[in-house]
Structure 1
Amino acid sequence: MSLQTKLEVVCLELLKKTSTDLPPDVEQALEKAEKGERDPVARANLRAILENLRVARERGVPLCQDTGLPLFYFWMDPSLPLDPFEAARKAVKKATREGFLRPNTVHPLSRKNEGNNLGKEMPRVKVFRRRGEEVEVTVLLKGAGSENCSKLIMLAPEKGVEGIKELVVKAVAEAGGKPCPPIILGVGIGGNAELSMELANLSLLRPLPERHREPSLRRLEEELEKRINRLGLGPMGLGGKTTCLGVKVEYAHTHTASLPVSLSFLCWAARRASASLEVGG
């Protein structure tokens, strides 16, 4: 088997895994939330979510009818004889054909659907340069319910940290039950408009227990999570303590006259998985 084919297999297996299972940290957070809820409706919703996960895992079927748009992240040495874009395309096409992905991808204007989840700039692939013979791949599936709640706000710099907190909590409150809470929220701060949203998405790749390394950002994550859960939206927006399983923040330096803030929502089905390929192995 060629090295390129091995990479395609890795991508395909990650798509199958993300479609039919959740990361352990997300499942554990849902179990903890179910035990901590007092509202009977909230507990019933969380139990239904956990039962849905169990059935999907046992039967090897998608755990949500909206299998989302696949996002691929590669960390690799650019000198390696590999084409991550082609590997991702072939994996997506095959996963769609085998029923692990619903054919969601359409032309934005004509809405024409080719039926294979391929198209201009789709699947989305991001490649990060690093040295060595190990290739790391992460796949994230983002459904439309949560993606449609995403926001980019060019906040006035004088609003500062308090302004960021207010707009984040307001955005979650306005989203209500649309993103299928309990959510995981990625917050990208700084850079330009494009980088801000990229940071929000990248933050979602961090496991739930992993807080930001910088103390001020760690405190911001913790405070935002508490404020959001105090909203009382609860699972599916029907009330309860658990609106949010976690908040992840990333930042970049920005223009002195700008303060971009981007929000990237994940529903309870926070489908991400990673694997590595040893080129020399």
Structure 2
Amino acid sequence: MRLMDVKVIIDAVEKMCIQANIQLGMDVVKALKESIEKENSPIGREIMEKLLRNAEIAVEQDMPICQDTGMAVFFIEVGQEIQFTGGNLTEAINEGVRRGYREGYLRKSVVLDPLQRKNSGDNTPAIIHYDIVPGNQIKIIFAPKGFGSENMSAIKMLNPSDGEKGVLAFVEETVFKAGPNPCPPIVVGVGIGGTMEKAALLAKRALTREIGSSNENEYYQALEKKLLQKVNNLGIGPQGLGGNTTALAVHVEAFPTHIAGLPVAVNINCHAARHVEVTL
């Protein structure tokens, strides 16, 4: 059994909150550069060049990439041979968020009640998803989620008979309805299977994958390519001003489901698919 003081968690989460919001991931930078070469719209190319310059300025000036520094979302893989000391794990993660958003001068965007709308003042509580795994380490994935793109996401309970054709149509429809609102070029996470909430969770987790990575299953690799082509053929383009780069990537994750159902969730992210991970 490995003992781990929760202070280690607090420090790690604080740093992750700041890093994710200031340093655009190299996978995103690479995807934008490659898309500039392929984009047929002069305005689209100029927009993506400005997005890259914005990312450079954020690092140079030690400032957030975007004013919406997101709601703090975590995927935590906890080794079953770890015992935490000095406090509660969930409370430690929230304390790390609290410190990170304060020390990084990041916008506090969380309200304590969805209807009464009083701001929590420190961007907590975080959204935390736990998974117990073998071993004595803890893996923390942090993804600050802005709501300009989150608000464009959708879920639908398809009939099994709708099949792949139904999935393709729903994803295409969701991106079309989103239009310029999620600040394209976007990254699209698609969750298929499980139950309603599981599909949504799969879609969210898909957004934490490195841009350009493929599903391990060959069938879903092909589906990701089909979806990316359909989305980019919509012509929405960078910032909705037209072009063939509406999305940088479409990531699909699937899970077993009931014989009577075909849940599908689409979680959209802006080009700044912010996510960092550490293993302790």
TM-score range, shorter chain: over 0.9
Q: For 1:39 and 1:79, how far apart are their aligned partners in 2?
A: 54
- The answer as to whether partners of 2:58 and 2:65 remain within 8 angstroms in 1 is yes
- The answer as to whether partners of 1:182 and 1:236 remain within 8 angstroms in 2 is yes
| Among candidates 104, 119, 128, match of residue 113 of structure 1 | 119
Give the deviation of 1:142 after TM superposition. Answer: 0.8
Give the deviation of 1:178 after TM superposition. Answer: 0.6
TM-score by length of 1: 0.94
Say whether residues 1:141 and 2:147 are aligned partners: no
Deviations 1:6-44 (A, max 9, x none): 111111111111110121111100111122223121111
Partner of 2:67: 65
Partner of 2:133: 130
Q: For 2:196 and 2:106, how far apart are their aligned partners in 1?
A: 30
Partner of 1:231: 234
| Among candidates 87, 90, 104, match of residue 85 of structure 1 | 90
* Paired amino acid for 1:139: F
Q: For 2:43 and 2:11, how far apart are their aligned partners in 1?
A: 42
Where in structure 2 are there 5+ consecutive unaligned residues? none
Give the deviation of 1:127 after TM superposition. Answer: 1.4
Deviations 1:194-232 (A, max 9, x none): 101001111112112321111111100011001111111
Q: For 1:67 and 1:20, how far apart are their aligned partners in 2?
A: 9
Q: For 2:136 and 2:161, how far apart are their aligned partners in 1?
A: 46
- The answer as to whether partners of 1:200 and 1:264 remain within 8 angstroms in 2 is yes
* Paired amino acid for 1:26: V
SS of residue paired to 2:82: coil
Partner of 2:275: 272
SS of residue paired to 2:50: helix
Q: Using the aligned pairs only, state the percent identity.
A: 36
TM-score by length of 2: 0.94
| Among candidates 27, 30, 34, match of residue 28 of structure 1 | 30
Partner of 1:101: 106
* Paired amino acid for 1:222: K
Say whether residues 1:217 and 2:220 are aligned partners: yes
- The answer as to whether partners of 1:74 and 1:84 remain within 8 angstroms in 2 is no
Deviations 1:43-72 (A, max 9, x none): 111111111000001121111000111111
* Paired amino acid for 1:32: E
Correspondence list, 1:192-271, <5 A: 192-271=195-274
Runs of 4+ residues over 6 Å off in structure 1: none
Q: For 1:191 and 1:254, how far apart are their aligned partners in 2?
A: 4
Q: For 1:7 and 1:161, how far apart are their aligned partners in 2?
A: 41
Residue-pair matches, total: 273
Partner of 1:12: 14
| Among candidates 159, 164, 169, match of residue 162 of structure 2 | 159
SS of residue paired to 2:83: coil
- The answer as to whether partners of 2:80 and 2:136 remain within 8 angstroms in 1 is no
Give the deviation of 1:180 after TM superposition. Answer: 0.7
* Paired amino acid for 2:24: L
Partner of 1:47: 49
SS of residue paired to 1:132: coil
Give the deviation of 1:78 after TM superposition. Answer: 3.7
Partner of 2:58: 56
For structure 1, which segment, 172-181 or 70-79, has the greater mean C-alpha deviation from structure 2 after superposition?
70-79
- The answer as to whether partners of 2:81 and 2:136 remain within 8 angstroms in 1 is no
